[in-house]
């Protein structure tokens, strides 16, 4: 029997479970987007977003559209037509940005790392010295498809050393409000994210922050329409918006941002890291192998033995009323990605560890009763 009237609870790296008070905000009367209530709300939300982005006082532009819309808008807002762009790729999302860049006619070069491993920074510097006109380097912070947290700070340092003019554009869709991210201190130039991951809101909003240096690169840009980040920045700074934003989602987002800020960014980063480490330990106790060399708190990527198969595990979890992400792309049949990214706590950790263990036995793995919950509890307690 399934969990009944409710859809499966989300333990995937986006969309994530949303707190009830955030859902309740969606039921408030719809505001007029040019009225004083919404203008005040939008101003507060943009200020709170800037805090969550760790760039207090700066402009974070809100895009109605998912995280990909924010990424596209940011790319087009600071990279001139036909420019050379170096994309770092080590998973599905890095590959997505390679494809997007080519469709817009940028001269895209790629630097690959094996899935779940770090980029070779010496190779990166050599690539950049060989391409001194590179306008931008694109890197995914938390590569959600492999569960890897890439060291974007080290990448940005390497870019500064070898191609100081190149902008560093970071996909932080699944790392915002989950992993340490300090755009100014780390010398990043564009950071984008979306509503349905670390900030615990339904899908539908994207966010983009650009450095002053990136905003100053206004020459020779491709034409844009709806996703004109520069125009939106001006409109939003003046309290408005170019078109009708998803006003109810903005209202819900404020409630979620208040929760994130009440916890405190650093406390939240730490909690998500501890939860994910404990989840990985639970997976190991089930005979699954952690996949990424530097795990992202957004997802516990775990390799599933070939004779078991990903679908048997995710299917058994679904029977218990839990949606756990499988792999994507070439990892589709190799890993599962249970996640505690959203509105989750220690009780979710223990529940998920227990469910994973039970599903592992159902799928044919020999796991001792209680082994996964014991490993999760041990890891959590040891990291206090
Ligand atoms: C989810 C995700 C995206 C895509 O975001 P959408 O909101 O689905 O457009 C991009 N990059 C990463 C790393 C993600 O996790």
DSSP 58: S
Q: Ligand 1 centre and the CA of 173: distance in Å?
A: 5
Q: What does the pLDDT average to over 76-105?
A: 98
Atom of ligand 1 nearest to the CA of 93: 11
Do 159 and 99 belong to one domain? yes
**What is the best residue among 63, 93, 301 to mutate for testing ligand 1's pocket, by most ligand atoms within 8 Å of CB?**
93
Give per-residue pLDDT as tens, 340-374.
999 999 999 999 999 999 999 999 999 999 999 99
Q: How far apart are CA 342 and CA 345, in angstroms?
A: 9
Atom of ligand 1 nearest to the CA of 196: 7
> What is the pLDDT, as a whole number, of residue 20?
97
Nearest residue (by CA) to ligand 1, atom 2, is 173
Do 206 and 246 belong to one domain? yes
Atom of ligand 1 nearest to the CA of 298: 15
Q: What does the pLDDT average to over 122-146?
A: 98
> What is the pLDDT, as a whole number, of residue 1?
46
How many domains does the structure of the chain reveal? 2
Assigned domain for 23 exists: no
Find the range with the poorest average confidence among 21-25, 85-89, 194-198, 239-243: 239-243
Do 196 and 256 belong to one domain? yes
Do 197 and 330 belong to one domain? no
- 214: domain CATH number is 3.40.640.10
Residue ranges around ligand 1 (CB below 6 Å): 14, 66-68, 93, 140, 142, 144, 171, 173-174, 194
Atom of ligand 1 nearest to the CA of 67: 7
Q: Ligand 1 centre and the CA of 227: distance in Å?
A: 17
pLDDT at 282 exceeding the cut of 60? yes
pLDDT at 3 exceeding the cut of 70? no
Domain of residue 303, residue span: 9-16+265-382
pLDDT at 2 exceeding the cut of 60? no
Do 300 and 354 belong to one domain? yes
Number of residues in the chain: 384
In this prediction, residue 192 has a pLDDT band, given cuts at 50, 70 and 90, of very high
> What is the pLDDT, as a whole number, of residue 173?
98
> What is the pLDDT, as a whole number, of residue 384?
87
Q: What does the pLDDT average to over 283-294?
A: 98
DSSP 121: H
Given 232, 262, 292, the domain boundary residue is 262
Given 194, 228, 262, the domain boundary residue is 262
Q: Are 85 and 136 in contact (CB under 8 A)?
A: yes
Q: Ligand 1 centre and the CA of 174: distance in Å?
A: 7
Do 229 and 323 belong to one domain? no
**What is the best residue among 13, 14, 75, 152 to mutate for testing ligand 1's pocket, by most ligand atoms within 8 Å of CB?**
14
Give per-residue pLDDT as tens, 295-312.
999 999 999 999 999 999
* Percent of the chain whose pLDDT exceeds 90: 97
Nearest Cα residue to 169 out of 51, 45, 293, 70: 70
pLDDT at 317 exceeding the cut of 90? yes
> What is the pLDDT, as a whole number, of residue 6?
82
End-to-end Cα, the chain, rounded Å: 37
Given 247, 262, 277, the domain boundary residue is 262
Q: How far apart are CA 184 and CA 6, in angstroms?
A: 42
* Percent of the chain whose pLDDT exceeds 70: 99
Q: How many CA atoms lie within 13 A of 61 on its CB side?
A: 30
pLDDT at 5 exceeding the cut of 90? no
Do 365 and 254 belong to one domain? no
Q: How far apart are CA 116 and CA 4, in angstroms?
A: 37
The H-assigned helical ranges of the chain are 20-25, 36-52, 67-78, 92-103, 121-130, 152-162, 212-215, 229-237, 247-263, 265-285, 310-319, 346-362, 371-382
pLDDT at 123 exceeding the cut of 70? yes
- 328: domain CATH number is 3.90.1150.10
Q: What does the pLDDT average to over 182-196?
A: 98
> What is the pLDDT, as a whole number, of residue 116?
98
Q: How far apart are CA 16 and CA 230, in angstroms?
A: 30
């Amino acid at each position: 029997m399934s969990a009944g009237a409710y859809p499966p609870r989300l333990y995937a790296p986006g969309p994530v479970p949303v707190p009830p008070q955030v859902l309740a905000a969606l039921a408030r009367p719809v505001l007029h987007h040019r009225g004083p209530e919404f203008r005040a709300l939008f101003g507060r939300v943009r200020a709170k977003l800037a805090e969550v982005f760790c760039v207090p006082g700066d402009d974070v532009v809100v895009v109605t559209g998912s995280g990909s819309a924010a990424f596209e808008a940011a790319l087009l807002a600071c990279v001139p037509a036909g420019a050379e762009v170096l994309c770092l790729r080590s998973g599905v999302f890095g590959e997505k940005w390679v494809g997007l860049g080519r469709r817009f006619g940028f001269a895209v070069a790629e630097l690959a790392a094996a899935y779940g491993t770090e980029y070779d920074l010496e190779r990166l510097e050599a690539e950049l010295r060989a391409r001194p006109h590179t306008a931008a380097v694109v890197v995914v912070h938390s590569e959600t498809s492999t569960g890897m947290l890439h060291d974007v700070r080290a990448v940005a340092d390497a870019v500064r050393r070898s191609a100081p003019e190149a902008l560093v554009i970071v996909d932080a869709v699944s790392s915002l409000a989950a992993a340490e991210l300090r755009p100014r201190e780390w010398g990043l130039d564009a950071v984008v994210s979306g509503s349905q991951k670390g900030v615990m809101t339904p899908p539908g909003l994207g966010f983009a922050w650009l450095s002053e240096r990136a905003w100053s690169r206004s020459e020779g840009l491709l034409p844009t329409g709806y996703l004109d980040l520069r125009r939106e920045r001006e409109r939003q700074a003046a309290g408005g918006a170019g078109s009708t934003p998803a006003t109810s989602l903005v209202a819900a987002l404020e409630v979620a941002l208040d929760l994130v800020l009440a916890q405190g960014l650093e406390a939240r980063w730490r909690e998500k890291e501890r939860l994910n480490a404990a989840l990985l330990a639970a997976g190991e106790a089930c005979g699954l192998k952690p996949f990424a060399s530097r795990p992202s708190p957004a997802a516990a990527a775990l390799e599933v033995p070939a004779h078991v198969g990903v679908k048997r595990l995710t299917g058994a979890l679904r029977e218990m009323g839990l949606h756990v992400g499988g792999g994507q792309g070439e990892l589709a049949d190799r890993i599962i990605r249970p996640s505690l990214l959203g509105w989750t706590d220690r009780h979710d950790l223990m529940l998920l560890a227990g469910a994973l263990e039970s599903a592992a036995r159902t799928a044919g793995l020999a796991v001792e009763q209680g082994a996964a919950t014991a490993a999760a509890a041990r890891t959590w307690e040891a990291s206090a």
